[in-house]
Amino acid sequence: SHSVTQAVYKKVRGKSSQKCRIFPDILPVDNTRETIQHSGKDQLWFFLLKLLMDASNKSVIVWTGNQRHFRIKNTESICRLWAEHNGRPLEVKWENIQRTMRACGVNLIFMAVPSKMHKGRNEEGLFGYVIEPANYLKMTTEELDRFIRENCE
């Protein structure tokens, strides 16, 4: 038997996900996601989460204050930080990071947020977690809520 959460997220998968994408008020807790790559470095979704938890990165990436949505404000800085994190001498191209971010959507970690103004498009630079990230930070949802309220854009 499938839970309601699984049924809702099944609609999100596939090529028509743009029309079906939803972000429930209460996100499912999922402790099964890998946070580390085979190389021993953080996976991109966890790396971005850690950047979000450092208030000094507000000019690069910031919580919006709406659910678990966040905005990438400076793609060049994200590319540079990701390259440094992985020990690469050159910047990673934004297109490569976008491809990895799309995989995060397919894997139901976070997704681009659809635009309210332009049907069929995503809101530029706006993403939302579709699993509760608090447990990966060893925080309660209330603690993460408080952090987001105090550090959102």
**DSSP characters over 129-141:** ESS--GGGGT--H
pLDDT at position 120, please? 67
- Please provide residue 56's backbone torsions phi and psi, each rounded to the nearest 5 degrees: -70, -10
> Tens of pLDDT along 13-61?
444 344 445 666 667 777 767 777 767 789 999 999 999 999 999 999 9
Q: Is the pLDDT of residue 4 over 70?
A: no
pLDDT at position 137, please? 94
* Rg of the chain, C-alpha, whole Å: 15
